[in-house]
Every structure is written in structure tokens, then in C-alpha cells.
Amino acid sequence: MADLTVHHIPVCPFCQRLEILLSLKGRRRDVGFRVVDVTRPRPDWLLKKTGGSTALPILETADGRILKESLVILKYLEDLYPERAVAQRDPYRRAVENMLTMFEAAFCTQGYGYVMNQDPGKRDALRESMLKQYAGLNEFLNEHAPSGPFLFEEFGWAETVFTPLFMRFWFLEYYEEFELPDEEAYARVRRWRDACVSHPAAQQVTKEQIVKLYYDYAKGAGNGELLPGRNRSSFIFEPDWPARPWPPSDKYRHSATDGELGL
Ligand SMILES: N[C@@H](CCC(=O)N[C@@H](CS)C(=O)NCC(=O)O)C(=O)O
């Protein structure tokens, strides 16, 4: 058995960060990943380990110690397996990388708030706020890494943190018709995003999985919660993704049944 176990939800962006970091280090097989089904109440053994909290991923060491929060776990893995450094080692470069990483929480909250919105009257404002997030990243990259495509020479720490979010935001393209405008204000961040999502170390999930899994988010229900009239969450593991039809993209006018979603 691996010395380290990550308890995770497949297709969760925070869990994908860990998989990307481990892939970059050639250490993916040194850590066991144990799947948790969030459509059911968390098992007692898991709640005992976490002290009652339910957010994943958590990392468990061989002697049963628990770490929480993806950025904390990333740092732990970076320190534990230092031989292929993903984070910058030069203090100034590390600080620049950390400044960019600080944007992730607001970026994430904005994207999830947007996809979960159920009020058509708020769509324009949400789109504008999302664009502001991208414009902020664009400015930062233009200042610190105008040529790119990455912040430094290679896909590194900031890319590990942001790529899973760029991939999740495929749900905005599908359910909100959100696209980055073809304008200078987004040109640099577009190059960063496109290079990030196509990097070989970040291919753990597909657009198809994300769009199908996050249907219930697009209807306002997060984390395996059941929507009215439904018996199954889009977060269940069976049937597998290819067997499910693509969900209807018009989230404001139609609520798909379990049958329409192939659940
Ligand atoms: N800030 C946390 C966020 C973790 C998080 O929200 N995970 C989601 C899955 S994407 C989760 O576990 N949701 C279920 C829950 O909170 O009960 C991190 O970076 O690890």
C-alpha cells in the first residue's frame, strides 16, 4: 500500500491539482487515491478522520495523520518530493508565483457562482465580473511574463493551481455561452489558459466529464445534492460518462429528468 492516501472526488478541481503536481514529479504512483461518493452521506470512518468536516481532498499519512486544503497538501507534496521542483526556488520568483496564486480563490468563487446562478436577470453582471477576473490575470501576466505562455519557463506551480479551474470553466462555455472575447485585454490570459489545459500532465479529466458531471451545479445544486423531482445526482459514478447523453445546455428554461441525463 502507498504511504500516502488522498481521499478524493473524481473530477474535483482541488483533487486534480494534486494529481497534476504528482505527475509533474513522476510520483503519481507513490500516492494512493481513494474515491469518495459525495452523493451519499459521508461514511463514519471518513468523518472520524476529518473531525467532521466534509470537504475533499484530504491527505492521510501512513500513520493516520490528516492534512486538509489542496494548497496546503500541494505544498506538503512539494516539500516531501523536492527532487523535481515544481514551485520556484528563487525567493523573488516564488513570491511572484505566490502573488498569482492568490488570485485563485476569487477566480474560483466567481466561476462557480456564475454557473450556479438561476436568475436570468443576473447573467450579464456575472459575465462582466467573470471577465474582470480574466482581465486581472491578463494584466498580471503581461507585467510579469509578457512572452509566456507560462509564468516562467515551464508549466509550474501557478499552472498546477489554475489549470483545474480553467478546465472546470468549460461548464461556463456550455451552460452560459461564456467565451473570452477576442480582444487585447484577454489575449495573454487566453494564451496561458490554452497552454495550461493542453499540457500533458493535466489530462486527468475531459470536457465531456465536466459538462455531464456539473449539470446539477448548473441547476443550482452543488456537491451531490439532489434537485427537486430527481432521484439521482449527476455526481454519481454510474453509468459512466460516455453512456450518458450530453445534457441540455439551456439551464434557465428546462430542467432535465434523470432519464434525459441517462442516470
Ligand atoms: N478549499 C478547499 C476546497 C475543497 C472543496 O470544496 N472540495 C469539494 C469538492 S470539489 C468538496 O469536497 N465538496 C463536498 C463538501 O464540501 O462536502 C481545497 O482547496 O481543498
**Is residue 115 located within the same domain as residue 37?**
no
Q: To which residue does cell 490554452 refer?
A: 194
Q: To which residue does cell 493516520 refer?
A: 64
- Residue 4's H or E segment, with its range, is strand 4-8
pLDDT value of position 1: 52
Determine, yes or no, domain membership for 229.
no
**Ligand 1 centre from 143 Cα, in Å?**
32
The edge-to-edge listing of strands for the beta sheet with 58-60 is: 31-35, 4-8, 58-60, 66-68
End of a domain among 167, 187, 202?
A: 202
**Ligand 1 centre from 69 Cα, in Å?**
8
Question: How does pLDDT run across 51-99, given as a tens digit for each residue?
Answer: 999 999 999 999 999 999 999 999 999 999 999 999 999 999 999 999 9
CB 105 within 8 A of CB 161: no
Q: For residue 9, which atom of ligand 1 is closest to its CA? A: 9
**Is residue 103 located within the same domain as residue 57?**
no
**Is residue 184 located within the same domain as residue 118?**
yes
Q: For residue 224, which atom of ligand 1 is closest to its CA? A: 14
For ligand 1, atom 5, the nearest C-alpha belongs to: 55
The model's confidence at residue 2, banded by pLDDT at 50, 70 and 90, is low
For the chain, what is the domain count?
A: 2
**Is residue 12 located within the same domain as residue 103?**
no
**Is residue 163 located within the same domain as residue 192?**
yes
Question: How does pLDDT run across 192-231, given as a tens digit for each residue?
Answer: 999 999 999 999 999 999 999 999 999 999 988 999 999 9
**Ligand 1 centre from 75 Cα, in Å?**
17
In one-letter notation, the amino acid at residue 13 is P
**Ligand 1 centre from 57 Cα, in Å?**
7
**CATH of residue 147:** 1.20.1050.10
CB 196 within 8 A of CB 163: yes
**Is residue 128 located within the same domain as residue 191?**
yes
Domain housing 39: 4-80
**Is residue 137 located within the same domain as residue 54?**
no
Length of the chain: 263
CB 234 within 8 A of CB 257: no
